[in-house]
Amino acid sequence: MTPDAYCQNVTARSGSSFYYSFLFLSEQRRKALTAVYAFCREVDDVVDEYKEESVARIKLAWWREDIQLAYKNQAQHPVNQAIACYKDQFNLPLEYFLEIIDGMAMDLNKQRYANFKELSLYCYRVASAVGLLAVEIFGYRNRQTLKYAHSLGMAFQLTNILRDVKEDAARGRVYIPADELARFHVTEEDIVRGRHSEQTRSLFAFQAQRAQEYYEQAFALLPEEDRYAQRSGLIMAAVYRAILDQIRKYDFDVVTRRCRLSAGRKIWLAYQTARREKLRFLRMQTQMQS
C-alpha cells in the first residue's frame, strides 16, 4: 500500500466532516490535505487508545521523531512518508506538526482548564495549527489569511468542545473553563449525569456565542482575493456552523442530545458553499476586467 493510499484509508475510516471539504480540491492538494488529516488522526488515536500515560508518551515521542525525520526524507511511518512528499510543494512548516503533537500531549496531563486563556493554547495546538497547514495547501496571496486560519481553527475546536462536552466528561476530560463552570453554577457532575437545566443552558449558550464570535472574526479577516482558494475551509465552516445552529435549536442541550448532521446535509452544505464561492469569484473577476 502506498503512503497516499494509507492516508486515504485512515481518512475514510474516520467518517470525519472534513472529508466533504476535500471534494473540491485538485488531486495534489487533496492528497496533501488527506496526509495532514491522517497525521492528526493517528496522533489523536495515541492518546485515546493507550490507557497507560507512559506508553502514550513514548508513542507521541516516536511520532515527534518520525515527523522530524520526514523533513529529512527518512520517515518510517506511511503517513509521515506522505507528508514528506508534499512538505516542499506546499511549504508545510514542521513547527505546526510539532504543535499538534504538543496539543495531543496536553490531553495526557491536563484534563481541566482554569480559564479560557489556558484553553486557548490547547485550541491553537490541536486546531489552529491544522488550519495553518491547510491554508498553505489551499494557497494564498495575502498573509492576513493566516490570521483567518487561526481564528477559524479556534471556532472549529470550540464547536467540537461544545458538541462533545458530555462524551469528553465521561472520559475524564472537561474543556469548559473551571471559572466559567463556577460563574454559571454548573458542576462537572451535572455534565456527566446529563442534567439539562437553566444553568447549563446559560453556560452552553455562552460557549456557543464565543465560538460564533470566532467565526465572525475569521470571516472578517479573510481577504477577498483569497476566498476562492480557501473555499474548502469555508465549506468546513458551513458544516460546523450548522452544528452550532442545531445546538441552538436544541436549546443548548448538549448533555442529553447528540448534535450531528446527516451525510446528505453535509453534502448539500458543501455543494451550496462551493457554488456560492464560485459565483462570488466570477463576479470579482468580471469587476476587475471591466
238 with 272: CB under 8 angstroms?
yes
Q: Which among 78, 93, 108 is the end of a domain?
A: 108
Same domain, 2 and 36: yes
226 and 164 co-located in one domain: yes
Give me the CATH number covering residue 175.
1.10.600.10
CA separation, residue 43 to residues 47, 48, 99, 133 (Å): 7, 9, 12, 16
Q: Do 173 and 287 share a domain, yes or no?
A: yes
Locus of grid cell 494557497: 139
Residue 228's nearest CA partner among 4, 17, 28, 25 is: 25
At 47 the pLDDT is 85
CB 234 within 8 A of CB 154: no
Measured at the CA of 89, the angle between CA 85 and CA 91, to 5 degrees, comes to 105
Instruction: Show which of 54, 82, 108 is a domain's final residue.
Output: 108
Q: In whole angstroms, what is the distance from residue 20 CA to residue 188 CA?
A: 34
Task: Identify the DSSP state of 125.
Answer: I
Each residue's pLDDT tens digit in the chain (290 positions)? 899 999 999 888 766 667 777 778 899 999 999 999 999 999 999 988 777 888 999 999 999 999 999 999 999 999 999 999 999 999 999 999 999 999 999 999 888 999 999 999 999 999 999 999 999 999 999 999 999 999 999 999 999 999 999 999 998 899 999 999 999 999 999 999 999 999 999 999 999 999 999 999 999 999 999 999 999 999 999 999 999 999 999 999 999 988 889 889 999 999 999 999 999 988 888 887 77
Same domain? For 250 and 154 the reply is yes
**C-alpha cell, 65:** 521523531
* Full residue range of the structural domain in which residue 13 is found: 1-108
Query: What would the grid cell of residue 135 be?
Result: 491554508
Q: Looking at residue 284, what is its pLDDT?
A: 84
Q: From 71, 93, 108, give the residue that closes a domain.
A: 108
C-alpha angle 7/8/14, rounded to 5°? 90
Q: Tell me the C-alpha distance between 69 and 75, whole Å.
A: 5
Task: Specify whether 201 is located in the same domain as 290.
Answer: yes
Give the predicted TM-score (pTM) of the model.
0.94
- Whether residues 81 and 45 fall in one domain: yes
Assess whether 132 and 16 both reside in one domain. Answer: no
Which residue shows C-alpha cell 509521515?
80
**Per the structure, how many domains does the chain have?**
2
Helical (H) or strand (E) element with 81: helix 78-86
Tell me, yes or no, whether 140 and 232 share the same domain: yes
Map grid coordinates 466533504 to a residue.
20
Which pLDDT score is estimated for 53?
Answer: 84
